[in-house]
């Protein structure tokens, strides 16, 4: 059993703003998949073309960390996902660079199972318990590709969650966990394959979930001495309707404690979903409640927490979006073709302007790593003038001081749009291509892309914030470039909390 | 300030190819077309050329790098050829090189040739560039119209101009240039358009529609320069001299410092002030007879009227709508059709502007000849509003 002092200290969440209406999917595919028409209710989250598991994880982590520039307390980063963009380049390292974490940290990719999120969380909890880390950051994120007209297309969603693990100022104390490792292949995705291959659902339900989950729950309850009736929140991702309630009941847990799987508003976010649901639960739970997190996949994880009085203050923090706020920040998408296009499922005519070679000079990337990945510019220590990018000679008018610049972070500063255009000429995955000059509070400006907007929404003076996104994809070499983009500030978090 | 270039150099001859979709020509043939006209106009032999400046912007298509393509195409007598590239102001840069060579005494006669073969791209608009290894990692994958269109949003915000009023004013800019282009047989686009057509054209980059964008053309232009004394000794009359040649280049202030409001060209104002001082012009609104400005987009021309201190700040919309810059207005602008209709073969454009001023000053502009112009201004811009190269040149009758 873990020491009493280990647990969760903060949460963050990110669900992409676009919500594809399921009826748009089933309507388009009814001719080929009439059996799916019955699953038309609700909406699924849909990452924009420039979002991937890394960018979503970064946004969830930024939500958790807040605007504080000093992130030196974070000494470990665990990233769980089954859809990380690089097989050999530390994906958690990309997230660490974007978050401007210190270099002297451990960053770990946890992959290859739907339990990647909970495995990452358990690694962090055990690491802090063993005093290997003081403050570990856990992110889980997934953006799974699905075939058109498949049930997965309707059930899945894109999203990410983040949790901070520490031993002080806990919002939820870690009581204990139990893990079973079982090579039960309900589905698999071979190396290099794009899509899942699944076995019969009835077998998965009856021979898999119905047997493996109760055994694992029993394991954690026995270990911790907590009785099933004490559980206030039974949190388990599951795409079978009402199965969590049945499993809870089988374990002696009250069915009414079963957490919302978010099927109606989000869809299942893969390896992220256990943590997405946990964050969603934390945003609603009361102090002193017991949360049992169960995650199935190649076995099962069962993790038990008890919330503390400190949770209430964090729930009331209007700057923190969490999953509740993310879900409230939504835009309905009814264009199924856009979903297919963003996910590379149709060959579309991109025009010659898309032929530009996106080869990235890795030397240049590394030389400018804090600028490109962390949006770190410079501040002249003599004049206070702020600029991006940093340079040996300051841009300060009439005072071009030399070698006076110190690093200056832009990512968490608000900005307003000075000038902009919606460009229909240049290649864009989501035309028109919006970009312009962003002027930052406190000085400095950057010409940059504007993401997540529709024509008519942008104007000079609009307040924006920065998000970490995919800049370009080099399909020829399998590389991805990341940079920062501006999105409008939408005050949906406070609204969502008021509605809760 | 330096003593300047005023009246030290005369234009001995000029040439300009037909601009447009020259499917029949490579850059070599275009250069030859402009060169032969200029040589005939100057009345000299190739052996009299002491040095050459060669401007072309895009490497991926066109001539390739260096001075060799010019020397080979024209079979120059193994003289120095300097290739210059300064974005869309490259043509003015070539002229500057040749003029300075003559002014310094290093050359008696020098030639500047600019060319761009844009219609080997395979699509409309300018080719997308590859500007180094850092810029593509941080800058938007934008386009020229997308960059210049941003002037409109900032100008509206600064001067409190409504979207519709500004759209109508920039439409008038294009209507005027199309009307002028009709009279120019070398122009790429020679069709008049109505304000309604311009306003209803497909959107390219908000708020710029198709007719707010200049032609993407093939073409070449050439200038042969010498001293006024040599020109006179050769029996030349109606000598046209260079009064000023100024170039201002952004140093990152506009793109990195919040002192620039995005609605004007910082460099143009600096280059214009220096050019007026060099040419001895105190009141440009009264003294300039005509202008060829860098109307790559209609909004560029509109704000440039203020940057050149012709229209008062915030007053360009009114001047444009009043017809101040129309062919029959006080200062005709783009009398040859401008980049809008004559076309914009990048490396040639600065020289094409000088060509029109030269023809007008010599009374050789045919149907579009203005009554007795004395001072012509050319404004040639490269880059985008937030980072650019701006040239302002003044060319006039000797003694004007």
Task: Render pLDDT for A193-232 as a digit per residue (tens, 0 to 9).
Answer: 999 999 999 999 999 999 999 999 999 999 999 999 999 9
Instruction: Give the distance from residue B162's alpha carbon to the nearest chain A alpha carbon, in angstroms.
Output: 13
d(CA B332, CA A213): 83
**Cα angle at A57 between A466 and A320, to 5 degrees?**
60
* Chain A positions in Cβ-Cβ contact with residue B61 (cut-off 8 Å): none
At B127 the pLDDT is 81
Mean pLDDT, all residues of chain A: 96
Report CB contact under 8 Å: A365, B154. Answer: no
If pLDDT is split at 50, 70 and 90, which confidence band does A2 have?
Answer: very low
Residue of A nearest to B261 (CA): A418
End-to-end CA distance of chain B: 21
Helices (H) and strands (E) in chain A, counts: 15, 22
- Sequence-distant (6+) residues with CB within 8 A of B385 are A419, B147, B148, B150, B151, B254, B262, B265
Report CB contact under 8 Å: A423, B255. Answer: no
Provide the number of CB pairs (under 8 Å) joining chain A to chain B. 143
- Sequence-distant (6+) residues with CB within 8 A of A138 are A77, A78, A80, A117, A120, A121, A124, A162, A163, A164, A165, A275
Catalytic site residues of B? 88, 344
Report CB contact under 8 Å: B256, A420. Answer: no
From 3.10.28.10, 2.40.50.840, 1.20.1440.120, 2.60.260.20, which CATH number describes the A352-375+410-499 domain? 2.40.50.840
Tokens representing B368 are 């579009």
Instruction: Name the DSSP class of A8.
Output: E
If pLDDT is split at 50, 70 and 90, which confidence band does A455 have?
Answer: very high
Residue A4: pLDDT over 90: no
d(CA B285, CA B329): 12
At B113 the pLDDT is 98
The pTM of this model reads: 0.96
Nearest to A435 among B146, B156, B385 (CB): B146
Per-residue H/E/C for B357-377: HHHHHCCCCHHHCCCCCCEEE
Are the C-beta atoms of B270 and B260 separated by less than 8 Å?
Answer: no
Interface contact A215, partner B, CB < 8 A: no
At B2 the pLDDT is 87
At B295 the pLDDT is 98
Enumerate the CATH 3.40.47.10 domain ranges in chain B, comma separated: 10-119+218-233, 143-212+240-397
DSSP string, B77-124: -S-EEEEE-BTBTHHHHHHHHHHHHHHHTS-SSEEEEEEE--TTSSSS
Residue A272: pLDDT over 60: yes
Residue A426: pLDDT over 80: yes
CATH number of the structural domain B10-119+218-233: 3.40.47.10
| pLDDT (mean) for A403-422 | 97
* Chain A positions in Cβ-Cβ contact with residue B208 (cut-off 8 Å): 421
| pLDDT (mean) for B153-173 | 97
Q: Taking Cα atoms as reference points, which of B204, B296, B224 lies closest to residue A425? A: B204
Interface contact B369, partner A, CB < 8 A: no
Buried/exposed code over B237-276 (b: 16+ C-beta within 10 A; e: otherwise): eebbbbbbbbbbbbbebbbbbbebbbbbbbbbbbbbbbbb
Give, in order, the Cα–Cα distances in Å from A324 to each of A258, B291, B369: 17, 60, 70
Q: Where are the domains of chain A?
A: 7-342, 352-375+410-499
**Cα angle at A206 between A203 and A211, to 5 degrees?**
125
Interface contact A1, partner B, CB < 8 A: no
Tokens representing A186 are 């309900």
Report CB contact under 8 Å: A435, B140. Answer: yes
From 3.30.420.40, 3.40.47.10, 3.40.50.720, 3.30.300.30, which CATH number describes the B143-212+240-397 domain? 3.40.47.10
At A361 the pLDDT is 97
Helix or strand holding residue A331 (H, E):
strand A331-333
Q: Tell me which CATH homologous superfamily contains domain A7-342.
A: Thiolase/Chalcone synthase (3.40.47.10)
Interface contact B135, partner A, CB < 8 A: no
């Amino acid at each position: 059993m873990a020491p009493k002092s280990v647990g969760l200290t903060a949460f963050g969440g990110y669900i992409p703003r676009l919500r594809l209406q399921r009826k748009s999917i089933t309507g388009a595919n009814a001719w080929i998949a009439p059996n799916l028409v019955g699953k038309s209710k609700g909406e699924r989250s849909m990452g924009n073309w420039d979002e991937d598991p890394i960018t979503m994880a970064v946004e969830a982590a930024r939500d958790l960390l807040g605007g504080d520039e000093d992130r030196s307390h974070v000494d470990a980063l665990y990233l769980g996902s089954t859809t990380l963009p690089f097989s050999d380049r530390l994906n958690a390292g990309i997230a660490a660079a974007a978050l401007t974490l210190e270099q002297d940290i451990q960053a770990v990719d946890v992959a290859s199972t739907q339990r990647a999120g909970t495995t990452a969380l358990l690694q962090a909890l055990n690491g802090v318990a063993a005093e290997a880390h003081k403050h570990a950051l856990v992110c889980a994120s997934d953006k799974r590709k699905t075939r058109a007209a498949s049930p997965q297309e309707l059930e899945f969603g894109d999203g990410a969650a983040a949790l901070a693990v520490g031993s002080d100022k806990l919002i939820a104390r870690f009581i204990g966990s139990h893990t079973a490792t079982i090579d039960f292949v309900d589905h698999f995705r071979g190396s290099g394959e794009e899509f899942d291959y699944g076995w019969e659902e009835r077998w998965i339900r009856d021979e898999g979930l119905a047997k493996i989950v109760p055994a694992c729950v029993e394991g954690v309850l026995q270990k911790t001495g907590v009785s099933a009736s004490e559980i206030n929140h039974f949190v388990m991702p599951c795409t079978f309707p009402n199965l969590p309630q049945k499993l809870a009941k089988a374990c002696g847990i009250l069915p009414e404690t079963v957490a919302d799987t978010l099927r109606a508003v989000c869809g299942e976010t893969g390896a992220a979903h256990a943590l997405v649901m946990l964050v969603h639960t934390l945003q609603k739970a009361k102090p002193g409640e017991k949360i049992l997190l169960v995650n199935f996949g190649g076995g099962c994880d069962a993790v038990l927490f008890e919330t503390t009085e400190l949770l209430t203050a964090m729930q009331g923090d209007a700057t923190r979006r969490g999953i509740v706020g993310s879900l409230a920040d939504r835009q309905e998408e009814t264009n199924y073709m856009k979903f297919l296009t963003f996910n590379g499922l149709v060959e579309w005519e991109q025009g010659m302007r898309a032929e530009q070679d996106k080869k990235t000079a890795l030397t240049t990337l590394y030389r400018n790593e804090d600028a490109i990945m962390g949006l770190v510019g410079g501040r002249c220590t003599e004049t206070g003038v702020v600029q991006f990018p940093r340079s040996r000679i300051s841009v300060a008018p009439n005072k071009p001081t030399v070698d006076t610049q110190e690093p200056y972070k832009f990512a968490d500063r608000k900005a307003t749009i000075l000038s902009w255009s919606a460009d229909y000429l240049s290649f864009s995955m989501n035309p028109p291509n919006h970009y312009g000059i962003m002027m930052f509070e406190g000085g400095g400006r950057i010409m940059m892309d504007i993401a997540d907007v529709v024509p008519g929404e942008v104007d000079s003076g609009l307040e924006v914030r920065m998000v970490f996104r995919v800049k370009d994809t080099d399909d020829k070499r399998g590389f991805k470039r990341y940079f920062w983009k501006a999105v409008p500030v939408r005050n949906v978090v406070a609204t969502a909390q008021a509605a809760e | 300030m330096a003593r300047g270039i005023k009246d030290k150099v005369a234009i001995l001859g000029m040439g300009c190819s037909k601009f447009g979709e020259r499917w029949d020509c490579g850059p070599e043939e275009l250069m030859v077309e402009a060169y032969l006209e200029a040589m005939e106009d100057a009345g000299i032999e190739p052996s009299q050329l002491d040095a050459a400046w060669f401007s072309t912007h895009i490497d991926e298509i066109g001539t390739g790098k260096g001075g060799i393509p010019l020397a080979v195409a024209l079979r120059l007598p193994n003289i120095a050829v300097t290739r210059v590239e300064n974005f869309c102001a490259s043509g003015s840069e070539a002229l500057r090189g040749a003029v300075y060579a003559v002014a310094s005494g290093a050359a008696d006669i020098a030639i500047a040739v600019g060319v761009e073969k844009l219609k080997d791209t395979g699509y409309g608009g300018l080719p997308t560039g590859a500007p180094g290894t850092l810029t593509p990692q941080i800058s938007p994958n934008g386009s020229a119209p997308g960059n210049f269109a941003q002037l409109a949003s900032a100008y509206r915000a600064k001067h409190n101009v409504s979207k519709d009023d500004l759209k109508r004013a920039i439409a008038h800019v294009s209507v005027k240039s199309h009307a002028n282009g009709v009279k120019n047989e070398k122009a790429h686009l020679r069709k008049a358009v109505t304000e309604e057509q311009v306003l209803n054209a497909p959107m390219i980059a908000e708020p710029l529609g198709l007719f707010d964008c200049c032609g993407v053309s093939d073409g070449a232009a050439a200038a042969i320069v010498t001293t006024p004394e040599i020109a006179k000794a050769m029996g030349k009359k109606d000598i046209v001299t260079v009064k000023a040649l100024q170039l201002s280049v952004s140093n990152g202030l506009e793109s990195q410092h919040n002192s620039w409001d995005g609605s004007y060209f910082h460099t143009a104002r600096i280059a214009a002030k220096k050019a007026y001082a060099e040419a001895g012009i105190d009141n440009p609104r009264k003294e300039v007879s005509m202008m060829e400005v860098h109307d790559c987009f209609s909004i560029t021309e509109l704000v440039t009227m203020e940057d050149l201190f012709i229209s008062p700040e915030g007053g360009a919309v009114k001047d444009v709508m009043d017809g101040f810059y129309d062919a029959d207005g006080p200062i005709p602008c783009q009398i040859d059709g401008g980049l809008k209709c004559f076309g914009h073969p990048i490396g040639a454009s600065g020289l094409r502007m000088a060509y029109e001023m030269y023809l007008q000053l010599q009374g050789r502009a045919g149907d579009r000849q203005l009554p007795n112009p004395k001072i012509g201004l050319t404004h040639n811009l490269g880059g985008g509003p937030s980072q650019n190269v701006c040239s302002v040149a003044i060319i006039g009758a000797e003694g004007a």
